């Protein structure tokens, strides 16, 4: 009984204090204070992350190879874009609102998500799209004053995508070990090494992914005549564990 | 012992929030609670939880509440049973880690709790040996 007396009041004080802080932070009363504390911890996180993650460990050669393949795809796409632009001009349609890219340093990377050093104070919003060059990385999931977490494509993200060559449309589902392009009609043609890009379904508020961002490439196709749909395994061209900087598309 | 624990706790907070997806802070607190059985561990749990939430983009207080509740259960359990033993470390760290991953990471496989249990057992052995030596 004596032992209980010695620790229980201590527990109660800190427990009530924790609940109080939790409630205040949920209601947004502690934004200023947490922002100040985050600003103090971010540099240390950046140093630790920088010391443990580097892009100098042999992955660059593979990426260069992928980039050269992508370059040829981009040339084809740019031709199509020019054609499209001409059509837009013809019909006097206006371009979509210009997008601004905000660079962010990665300060944490674990469990299918990245922690970046930009937050509410940098005009970030939940659902903002994160890219590197024209490759899709994921979207902003949780946000605080000076930090945000980004859900990677390999987490539970679901959106519509299409293949670059054949234009087959399907639903892309992120999984812990990769991505699956699912619900593709059996009549559509899926082929290995074809690039998968975002279809560009956005709602009125701009939530969703902009069109033509590279998601990855098809590594295998699963097609059975007995099934209603076919699917393909998709792998990103980017090694998320080696990333150090990403860009957030803000409107 | 307290200073070593404090240093390990600070390192664990930054390592956990930066690149290792294992609840290192929780494991440290459980082992320290079992070895020391003092109210000091609640203060550590509170402060470590707040700092961990700040670095891991969670609402401050979330981790503290979880840590404090688990540590309370351990402290209550020790009134009737001996907790300073390997079987208790094994069960408490495995179950606690599994719960932590379910609550904060929304999913858990068995590998992560397994790794954490091994880590807890190693940490417990090392700190216990150190404690015995310092007492002698």
Could you give the ipTM of this predicted complex?
0.91
State the pLDDT at residue B81.
81
Q: How far is B2 from chain A (nearest CA, A)?
A: 17
B37's CB contacts (< 8 A; 6+ apart) are A3, B75, B78, B83
Tokens of A247: 């860009």
Mutation to test the B interface, candidates A4, A7, A107, most B Cβ within 10 Å = A7
Residues A237, A66 contacting (CB under 8 angstroms): yes
Separation in Å, CA A150 to CA A102, A245, A246:
14, 12, 10
- pLDDT tops 60 at residue B40: yes
State the pLDDT at residue A97.
47
Q: Measured between alpha carbons, how far is A79 from A127 in angstroms, rounded to an integer?
A: 31
State the pLDDT at residue A89.
56
Q: Measured between alpha carbons, how far is B20 from B46 in angstroms, rounded to an integer?
A: 21
High-pLDDT (> 70) share of chain B, %: 99
pLDDT band (50, 70, 90) for residue B110: confident
State the pLDDT at residue B63.
94
Residues B25, B45 contacting (CB under 8 angstroms): no
The verdict on a CB contact (< 8 Å) between A25 and B61 is: yes
Only one residue has tokens 């795809």, namely A73
Residue of A nearest to B21 (CA): A110
State the pLDDT at residue A176.
74
Q: Measured between alpha carbons, how far is B17 from B13 in angstroms, rounded to an integer?
A: 6
Q: How far is A138 from chain B (nearest CA, A)?
A: 17
Strand partners, A113: A110, A151
Residues B64, B72 contacting (CB under 8 angstroms): no
Q: Give the residues of chain A that fall short of pLDDT 50.
A: 1-4, 90, 93-97
State the pLDDT at residue B127.
87
């Amino acid at each position: 009984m004596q032992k209980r007396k010695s620790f229980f009041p201590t527990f109660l004080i800190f427990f009530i204090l924790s609940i109080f802080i939790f409630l205040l932070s949920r209601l947004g009363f502690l934004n200023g204070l947490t922002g100040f504390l985050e600003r103090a911890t971010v540099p240390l996180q950046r140093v630790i992350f920088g010391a443990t993650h580097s892009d100098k460990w042999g992955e660059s050669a593979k990426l260069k190879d992928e980039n050269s393949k992508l370059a040829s795809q981009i040339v084809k796409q740019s031709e199509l874009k020019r054609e499209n632009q001409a059509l837009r001009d013809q019909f006097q349609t206006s371009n979509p609102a210009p997008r601004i890219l905000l660079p962010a340093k990665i300060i944490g990377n674990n469990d299918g998500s990245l922690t970046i050093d930009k937050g509410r104070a940098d005009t970030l919003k939940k659902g903002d799209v994160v890219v590197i060059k024209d490759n899709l990385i994921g979207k902003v999931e949780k946000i605080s004053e000076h930090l945000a977490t980004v859900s990677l494509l390999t987490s539970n993200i679901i959106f519509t995508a299409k293949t670059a060559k054949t234009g087959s449309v399907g639903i892309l589902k992120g999984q812990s070990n990769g991505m699956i392009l699912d619900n593709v009609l059996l009549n559509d043609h899926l082929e290995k090494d074809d690039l998968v890009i975002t279809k560009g379904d956005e709602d009125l508020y701009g939530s969703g992914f902009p069109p033509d961002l590279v998601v990855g490439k098809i590594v295998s196709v699963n097609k059975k005549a007995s099934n209603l749909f076919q699917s393909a395994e998709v792998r990103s061209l980017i090694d998320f564990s080696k990333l150090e900087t990403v860009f957030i598309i803000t409107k | 012992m307290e200073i070593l624990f404090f240093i390990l706790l600070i390192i664990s907070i930054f390592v956990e929030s930066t690149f290792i997806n294992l609840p290192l802070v929780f494991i440290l607190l459980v082992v320290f609670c079992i070895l020391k059985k003092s109210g000091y561990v609640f203060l550590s749990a509170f402060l470590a939880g707040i700092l961990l939430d700040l670095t891991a983009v969670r609402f401050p207080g979330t981790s503290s509440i979880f840590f404090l509740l688990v540590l309370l259960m351990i402290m209550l359990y020790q009134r009737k049973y001996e907790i300073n033993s390997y079987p208790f470390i094994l069960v408490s760290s495995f179950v606690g880690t599994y719960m932590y991953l379910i609550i904060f990471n929304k999913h858990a496989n068995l590998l992560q709790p397994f790794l954490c249990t091994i880590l807890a057992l190693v940490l417990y052995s090392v700190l216990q040996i150190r404690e015995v030596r310092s007492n002698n």
